[in-house]
Structures are given as C-alpha cells and as structure tokens.
Amino acid sequence: MNKAKELREMSTEQLEFTLKEARESLFQLRIQASTEKIDAPSNMRKSRRKIARIHTILRERQEPSAQ
C-alpha cells in the first residue's frame, strides 16, 4: 500500500498508471466478492482508499493553492 507521501513523490504519469492499476485491482476484487471467493475483504477498502488518495493528489496538482 502506497502512503500519501510516497504517492506525492511520483510524477503525474506514474500516478495515472498507478490509478489505472488500482482501478483494475478493485474491479477484480469486486468480481471475487460477487462470486464469494474473496480472500481478504479488507483489500477492497484499501483499494478504494488508494484510488481516493491518488485522485486527491492529482487534484492538488491541478489547482493552484488557495493560500
């Protein structure tokens, strides 16, 4: 699991690639959950949070700071 600090050190292209991988991972977890073959249900939550962190960091880079 990538921490926010590690994600902020990545370039925008790396973040977009990581976001794509996280979305694919979440999709696979949802498929497993629907067929009741999921090993660790907590991985779905972790994956959703990772996606949210990446979106937040990308959004921060997009907008100029409000200060």
Q: What is the pLDDT of residues 27-55, one digit of tens each?
A: 999 988 888 887 788 889 999 999 999 99
- For the chain, which residues make up each domain, given as ranges? 4-62
Nearest to 54 by CA among 26, 15, 25: 15
Write down the architecture of domain 4-62 according to CATH.
Orthogonal Bundle (1.10)
| Angle CA 47–33–44, to nearest 5 | 15
The burial of 40, by beta-carbon neighbours within 10 Å (0-12 exposed, 13-18 middle, 19 or more buried), is given as: exposed
pLDDT reading at 1 higher than 90: no
pTM above 0.85, yes or no: no
Residues 6+ apart with CB under 8 A from 32: 38, 39
Residues in the chain: 67
Mean pLDDT, the chain, whole residue set: 87
